[in-house]
Amino acid sequence: MSESILNKSIEIIKGIGAIRLKQFRVLGIRNIGDLITYYPRAYEDRTVIKKISDLIEGDNCSFIGTVSSFERDVRIRKMALYKVKVKDNTSQITLVFFNQHYIRNVFFVGKTFVFYGKVEKKRGMIVVENPSFTEYSKNKLNDIACIVPVYSSTYGLSQNVIRSTVEKVLSKSIASVEEFMPKSLRDELGLVPIDYAIKNIHMPKTREYFVKARKRLVFDEFFLLQLALFSIKRDNDIKNNDMKMDIKDECKEFITNLPFNLTNAQKRTIREVLSNMKSDKMMNRLIQGDVGCGKTIVAIIALLNVVKNGYQGIMLAPTEILAKQHYETLTNMLSPLGVEVGLVVGRMKKREKRRIQDRVMVGQVDIVVGTHAILQEDIVFDKVGLVITDEQHRFGVQQRATLGKKGGTPHVLAMSATPIPRTLSLILYGDLDISLIDELPPERKTVKTLVISDDKRERMNNFIREKVKEGRQVYIVCPLVDDSEKQDLESAKGLSKRLMEHDFRDLSIALIHGKMRANEKSEIMQRFKDGDIDILVSTTVIEVGVNVPNASIMVIENAERFGLSTLHQLRGRVGRGDKEAFCVLITQNGSCDNKKRMDIMKETSDGFVVAQKDLELRGIGDFFGTRQHGLPDLKIADIYKDIEILKKAQIVAQKIMDQGSVMDKYPKLMEEVQKRFLRKLNEGIILN
């Protein structure tokens, strides 16, 4: 069989030379298949043709006009400006072109063109600036006044070039696109064939064609991704657990000796985790729970059980600060039970690193805590039984393999404080089992949230001073590090200076931000924990996971600059002790939207509600990129806007998986799943 045209380089297209090749490569387009699945990001609807007298400000439409006058070379600020008047049998309009010298040889009086552009009012006159145009010809009008795709582009590559390149190959190559969706399924779901969809996503004759095309492609994307995730899960479910772990008495004792009672949700989660590792299948589980619900203790118990079964454990954190915190917590709680805990972070002395490498290799260290540096270092483990990732992204099969050079691939447990609705967790974490900690420890007080504007600053400062006198500590979070970046925003450096020199000269104030070296940051965090610092001014570096029970006030400057989920995470840094805690949101922004957002923060302390509202207000793109979660990018589907299609795709995907033997029943479909998503997912997480 000859090679499919889809796999051929775009070089074979007439007009594509070395330069174009490079430009298209920037867009990720190498072969014809890439090109025809490079979907437009928007469309210009040129099908509406108006009479000139009907044009009104704000219109985006086509009109037909005959050139009646041409004025050239009026220069304003080095720009050449051309004014072209065109008319039809109803009226006349002025078109303005900037710097497009070639039009001198195009617009001859008496010639007729079809124009498309935005009608604007400039100095009281209706004009169209830089319209697109094509010479008028009656029998070609349908080709001109059509829906025109707009592609994401790159420097030097014009829309016209992309359009014509796609147009040149589309009809010739479309026959080579194989349908992978069984007809019965397509009929049932009312989906158009794949060739129809691809053709009409680029050049839809009407809006109707476009809607059908898009629906098919969006469905495909969700459906295939969901199938990929479900099939990873299925493979995992049938993989034998070659690291079965008994539930050891030491764990039960440890739980009994805790200074607090576990919540029911924690107990349930621990049961799920431990029985999972004991069962016939490997664990690949996500623990979801709001900030402060107590995920760490669950991790510790899981690790303890792993160690007592004779395996090593790994705990990964996104920052060195958090890694160090976990290291200390784990050491405090587990070393009395004879468990050796080690820390591995990026910046370590060579000798120190060597020492720990040696000890890990021979199994003298039971638990290694660290940042992702662990994965990059050549640490060879003796016998890893469990990897835990805290506040982190998914963990790929590939990565598991690199850790498991000796003794197979370990169990995996991910912990996340980003609460998301079920539909979304199915698409983001469909390959994982999920344990939900939906309960906070009982004594936990809700953090009282206040929203204030600048004029209340004096009162707030008095309040802070009072609380510090009572022995409490304070966080102040700013959107920026330096003053210079943007003038109207509070910066951490500027504010800390002001507080030290004016407002709180008598208090101990420190600054921490993302641009500082890791060990500097850790040192300051340590001093804050030890109570040497009263007020810690920072950027969002403290966002995740850090635990300082004595800190009971969180002030957030320019709160309008942060997403709701971030505000919620920040707020979760306080109220971890038994003292009443406060979150003060300072905002100058009086817009309706901002007020709505601040009200949500005041009214609810439930992370799920906050996340849901955040989604509604901002859309999924801002809420979290799929990339952040280690998922491949979606080309056309929008998890939020297309939520109904997503739900349908999930139901169908589940149904298909439940039937079993999918490979035999749907070979083409599963091949497409493999091609589009499985390979990428197995390669693993994208580190940031």
Distance CA 516, CA 492 (A): 12
84 within 8 A of 72, measured Cβ to Cβ:
no
* Residue 547 interacting partner from ligand ADP, Mg ion, none (CB closer than 5 to 8 Å by kind): ligand ADP
Name the minimum Å distance from CB 580 to ligand ADP: 16
37 within 8 A of 173, measured Cβ to Cβ:
no
Q: Binding segment for ligand ADP among 14-22, 285-293, 492-500, 647-655 (CB under 6 A)?
A: 285-293
Token output for 175: 């026959």
- Per-residue CA distances from 1 to 4, 5, 598 (Å): 9, 12, 63
Name the minimum Å distance from CB 433 to ligand ADP: 18
Distance CA 194, CA 209 (A): 13
Nearer CB in complex with Mg ion: 437/681: 437
Q: Binding segment for Mg ion among 5-13, 100-108, 131-139, 539-547 (CB under 5 A)?
A: 539-547
Name the minimum Å distance from CB 325 to ligand ADP: 8
Q: Annotate each residue in 595-634 with x if it binds ligand ADP (CB under 6 A) or - if it does not, as one string.
A: ----------------------------------------
By the rule CB under 6 A, 576 interacts with ligand ADP: yes
Distance CA 522, CA 528 (A): 10
Name the minimum Å distance from CB 586 to ligand ADP: 24
Residue 291: closest CA among 476, 440, 446: 440
Name the minimum Å distance from CB 361 to ligand ADP: 30
Rg of the chain over all Cα atoms, to the nearest angstrom = 31
Q: Binding segment for Mg ion among 63-71, 357-365, 425-433, 542-550 (CB under 5 A)?
A: 542-550
By the rule CB under 5 A, 545 interacts with Mg ion: yes
By the rule CB under 6 A, 441 interacts with ligand ADP: yes
Nearer CB in complex with ligand ADP: 267/359: 267
Q: Binding segment for Mg ion among 74-82, 544-552, 573-581, 594-602 (CB under 5 A)?
A: 544-552
Count residues near ligand ADP (CB under 6 A). Answer: 18
Q: Annotate each residue in 45-84 with x if it binds ligand ADP (CB under 6 A) or - if it does not, as one string.
A: ----------------------------------------
Residue from 276, 296, 399, 558 touching ligand ADP (CB under 6 A): that is: 296
Q: Which amino acid is at 10?
A: I
By the rule CB under 6 A, 476 interacts with ligand ADP: no
* Residue 576 interacting partner from Mg ion, ligand ADP, none (CB closer than 5 to 8 Å by kind): ligand ADP
Name the minimum Å distance from CB 266 to Mg ion: 13
Residue 518: closest CA among 352, 358, 371: 371
Q: Binding segment for ligand ADP among 127-135, 149-157, 288-296, 363-371 (CB under 6 A)?
A: 288-296
Element (DSSP H or E) covering residue 91: none
Considering only residues 128 through 157, tell me which ones interact with Mg ion, judged by CB under 5 A: none
SS3 530: coil
Name the minimum Å distance from CB 292 to ligand ADP: 5
**Positive or negative CA dihedral for 624, 629, 633, 636?**
negative
Q: Which residues contact 396 (CB under 8 A, 6 or more apart)?
A: 630, 681, 682, 683, 684, 685
476 backbone dihedrals φ, ψ, rounded to 5°: -125, 120
- The maximal CA–CA distance of the chain, rounded, in angstroms, is 95
By the rule CB under 6 A, 297 interacts with ligand ADP: yes
**Positive or negative CA dihedral for 356, 361, 362, 366?**
positive
Distance CA 616, CA 621 (A): 11
Residue 589: closest CA among 559, 615, 564: 559
Nearer CB in complex with ligand ADP: 441/494: 441
Distance CA 93, CA 119 (A): 10
* Residue 117 interacting partner from Mg ion, ligand ADP, none (CB closer than 5 to 8 Å by kind): none
Cβ-closest position to ligand ADP: 294
Token output for 439: 């309960």
Name the minimum Å distance from CB 440 to ligand ADP: 8
* Residue 441 interacting partner from Mg ion, ligand ADP, none (CB closer than 5 to 8 Å by kind): ligand ADP
Name the minimum Å distance from CB 295 to Mg ion: 5
Token output for 602: 């005041």
Task: Report the alpha-carbon angle 416-280-684, nearest 5.
Answer: 40
Nearer CB in complex with ligand ADP: 440/480: 440
Nearer CB in complex with ligand ADP: 202/576: 576
Distance CA 109, CA 403 (A): 74
By the rule CB under 6 A, 545 interacts with ligand ADP: yes
SS3 215: helix
Name the minimum Å distance from CB 213 to ligand ADP: 45
Q: Which residues contact 684 (CB under 8 A, 6 or more apart)?
A: 394, 395, 396, 397, 398, 399, 400, 630
Nearer CB in complex with Mg ion: 181/298: 298
Residues β-bridged to residue 80: 75
453's torsion region: left (phi>0), alpha (psi -120 to 50) or beta? beta
Considering only residues 254 through 273, tell me which ones interact with ligand ADP, judged by CB under 6 A: 260-263, 266
* Residue 385 interacting partner from ligand ADP, Mg ion, none (CB closer than 5 to 8 Å by kind): none
By the rule CB under 6 A, 289 interacts with ligand ADP: yes
| CA dihedral of 488, 493, 495, 499, whole degrees rounded to 10 | -160
Residues lying near ligand ADP in the complex (CB under 6 A) are found at 260-263, 266, 289, 291-297, 417, 441, 545, 547, 576
Residues lying near Mg ion in the complex (CB under 5 A) are found at 545
